[in-house]
Structure 1
Amino acid sequence: MQQVQGVVARKKGAPVEIVTINIPDPGPGEAVVKVLSCGVCHTDLHYREGGINDDFPFLLGHESAGIVESVGSDVTEVAPGDFVVLNWRAVCGQCRACKRGEPHYCFATHNAKQKMTLEDGTELTPALGIGSLAEKTLVAAGQCTKVDPEARPAAVGLLGCGVMAGIGAAINTGAITRGKSIAVIGCGGVGAAAIAGAALAGASPIIAVDIDAKKLAKAKQLGATHTINSSDQDPVEEIKRICAQTYEGADGADVVVEAVGRPETWKQAFYARDLAGTVVLVGVPTPDMKVPDLPLIDVFGRGGALKSSWYGDCLPSRDFPMLVDLYRQGRLDLDAFVSEEIGLGDVEAAFDKMHHGDVLRSVVIL
C-alpha cells in the first residue's frame, strides 16, 4: 500500500478537499497508474452534488492519461512503463454482447475489486470507477488503453470521457458520414467533440446550436459550418432552413445530437431531424426528467431512429489509439479542448468556471 494526495467530495454540495488516500498494491487483474493529467468533467460536479448517487465520499476524476506503475497477477494487456489513457468501461469478453461481437455494448464492464480508502480506512467511491484526480489511482487493467507515448497527456486524456462521448455520438452512434447533415444541440465539451467528429467524418452542413456565443465560436473553430444562437432564433426552423439550402427537399438534419440532456432540447432534436433521420441523446439527464409528450403518430410518421449513446458507443482498445494517431497527424485538434492547465488545489474554482461556461475543460496537471 502507498499514500498519495487526491481530491475528495465528502458530502453533497460541500467544497472538495485535497486529502491523503491509501492506494492498495494491485491485485489480480488490477493496475496502479501514476496520473499525469486529469480533466475536470461535469460528471465530477454531478458526483459532488449527489446527482449520480449518494455513495460518499467520492474520489473524483476520470478523464486521465498516465503511466502504469505496477500490475497484479494475470495482467497481460499492459505493463509497467506503458503510457495509457484510462477508460471507464473495461469489457468482460464473456457477456452476451461481447460474445455476439459487440463489446462496445458490454453488459458486465468492471472496475478494480479492491477499494482505495481515506487514512482512517473509510472506503472511497471512485468516480466512474476510476478516481484519477489524484497522484495515483487503482483501476482494473482493462481500464488502461495504451496509446502513442509522444502524445500530450492533457489533450489525449480527455478521450477518457467527454471527448470520446461526443466524437462517438456522431460517428459511432449517429453513423454520420459524407453526404449527411448533422446538428448538435449543446456545445459544451461533449457537443464540441461531436462537432469535431462530424468534421472528421466529412459531414455537411454541420450545425452548432447553443445559447452561448463563446461556445458557438469554439464550435466554429472545431468544424461547424453554421451556428445558431437558440436564445434569439428558433433552432428547429433554422436547422430545417439550412439543410434545405444544401439538400433539395430536406426537412431537417440527417442526424441531430442532443448534448444537453433536457426534455425540451431533446424535443427540439426530435423535430429538427429529417424524415428517417436519427436523434442521438448523449447529454445526461437527471433521474426526474421525462420524455416529452409527443404524438405517437409523429414518432411513427417520421421514421428513423431515437438512440442513446453510451460513452459514444466506443471500444477504447479500438478507438483511443486511432484518435490519438489522428491527433498526432494534426487531423483532430484535441488541444482545442484544453482551456487551461491547473493544479489539484484548483478543482473547486474549475467547477465555478464550468458553471459560467468559461471553459471546455480545465485539466489538472500532476
Structure 2
Amino acid sequence: MSKSVRGVVARAKGAPVSIETIVVPDPGPGEARVKVQACGVCHTDLHYREGGIGDDYPYLLGHEAAGIVESVGEGVTEVAVGDFVILNWRAVCGDCRACRRGRPQYCFATHNATQKMTLEDGTELSPALGIGAFAELTLVAAGQCTKVDPEADPAAAGLLGCGVMAGLGAAVNTGNVGRGDTVAVIGCGGVGDAAIAGARLAGAARIIAVDLDDRKLEWARRAGATHTVNSRSGDPVEAIRELTGGFGADVVIDAVGRPETYKQAFYARDLAGTVVLVGVPTPDMTLELPLLDVFGRGGALKSSWYGDCLPSRDFPMLIDLYRQGRFDLDAFVSERITLADVEAAFEKMHHGDVLRSVVIL
C-alpha cells in the first residue's frame, strides 16, 4: 500500500522550496522503500532547484541519505527489511561493457526505481539523483542501498552518499594518492576537505590546502592539511612550488571546477604528476591550455565522477574506519536541521557558512 509523507519539493526554477505531501508507492520488483533518518544538504540539490541540471520539475530534493529499509519488492536480495543503509546514485547494472570488464565503479547503465513518487494530485516527481531523500520515506532501486554498520550516526553516514565520497574518492581512487606523496587541494568546502581527509588516510606526507577564505582553511587543517595557502594573498601555484622544493605536488585536486582553478592545478603539479578534477563545471565553461605544455609535463589529467567509488566496496570500509576513530565523518556535520530549514540551509551554503547542514527526520 502506498504511503503519504512529507517531503521538500522544488516546483519551479529558482523558486523557494516547499514542504509537500509525497505519495510513495509500495516497492515493485527490484525496489526498496527506505525510512530516511538523515539527509545532507548538498550543492547538487541547489543546482536542481536553480535549473542547473535539468527542467523536469517538480523535483523531490535530497540524496545524501542514510536510513532503514522499510520494505522491499520481489526479487530483492541485496538488502532486507530492517537493514541500516546508505543511499547511493550508482546502482550498477552488472551487464554493461564496464561491468563486464570488471570495472563496475564505471558502470555506464546505473539505474533507479522504476515507479514514480508523486504529489497528492498524481503529479510525478523527479527525485534528485534518482533518490529524493528530503522525505520521511523514499523509493529507490535496491542496488542504491548499501548496508553498513547500524551503530554509525545516520547524520554522518549519509554524507558518504555524495559529497564526502566524491572528495575522498578523488584522492584515494582517482588520484591514487600513496604513502609519502605531496597533495594539493584547491577549494576547501565539503568536497575539498573530504579530499584532504582521503589524502591523509592514504598516507600523504604533505597536504596543501588552497582557498580564498581563512575560515575554510582552518576547516582544512582540521581535516588533515599540513599547510594552507590563501590565494587572495598571492599566486597559489608559486606558493605550492615553494612548499615542494620548487617541483610542485604529486597530485593536485581541483575541488572548485573553474577554468582558473584547473589551470592552477595543472601548473602546480610536479612533472609526471596527476591533476584530478572533482569540482563540477557549468556547461558554458571552456578551457584553453598550450598543447605543448600538456605534452611536455607528462603525467595524467583525470576527472573524478562520484570519486570513482563502488558503494558496495567503499561505504562499509569507510564506515568501519569511522567507527574505529580513524576517519572523522562527524567533522563534516556543521548543523542538524529539520525539513523546514532546507531553504535557509541553501543560503548558508551559498555564503560558505557550513560544510554540511543535515536534515534529521
TM interval, short-chain normalised? over 0.9
Q: 2:298 aligns with which of 298, 303, 308?
A: 303
In structure 2, give the amino acid aligned to 1:94: D
1:336 aligns with 2:331: yes
Q: How many residues align?
A: 360
1:25-80 Cα offsets, whole Å, 9 max, x none, are 00000000000000000000000000011111100000000000000001001000
What corresponds to 1:317 in structure 2? 312
Structure 2 SS opposite 1:120: coil
1:86-107 Cα offsets, whole Å, 9 max, x none, are 0001000001100111000000
In structure 2, give the amino acid aligned to 1:264: E
What corresponds to 2:352 in structure 1? 357
Matches of 1:46 and 1:182 in 2, distance apart? Answer: 29
1:345 aligns with 2:340: yes
What corresponds to 2:104 in structure 1? 103
Matches of 2:175 and 2:84 in 1, distance apart? Answer: 30
What corresponds to 1:5 in structure 2? 6
Matches of 1:294 and 1:344 in 2, distance apart? Answer: 44
Give how far 1:294 is off: 1.0
Give how far 1:263 is off: 0.8
Structure 2 SS opposite 1:243: coil
1:234-269 Cα offsets, whole Å, 9 max, x none, are 11001111011xxxxx51101000000111101110
1:315-365 Cα offsets, whole Å, 9 max, x none, are 000000000000000000000000000000000000010111110000000
In structure 2, give the amino acid aligned to 1:76: T
1:3-38 Cα offsets, whole Å, 9 max, x none, are 000000000000000000110100000000000000
State the TM-score, normalized to the length of structure 2: 0.99
Structure 2 SS opposite 1:191: helix
Q: Map 1:1-366 onto structure 2 (within 5 A).
A: 1-244=2-245, 251-291=247-287, 293-366=288-361
1:280-326 Cα offsets, whole Å, 9 max, x none, are 000011111112x2110000000001100010000000000000000
Matches of 1:220 and 1:303 in 2, distance apart? Answer: 30
Runs of 4+ in 1 over 6 A off after TM superposition: none
1:132-168 Cα offsets, whole Å, 9 max, x none, are 0000100000000000000000001100000000000
Structure 2 SS opposite 1:323: helix
In structure 1, give the amino acid aligned to 2:260: E
Unmatched 5+ residue regions in structure 1?
245-249
Percent identity between the aligned chains?
A: 79
Unmatched 5+ residue regions in structure 2?
none
Structure 2 SS opposite 1:77: coil
Matches of 1:325 and 1:203 in 2, distance apart? Answer: 21
Structure 1 SS opposite 2:35: strand
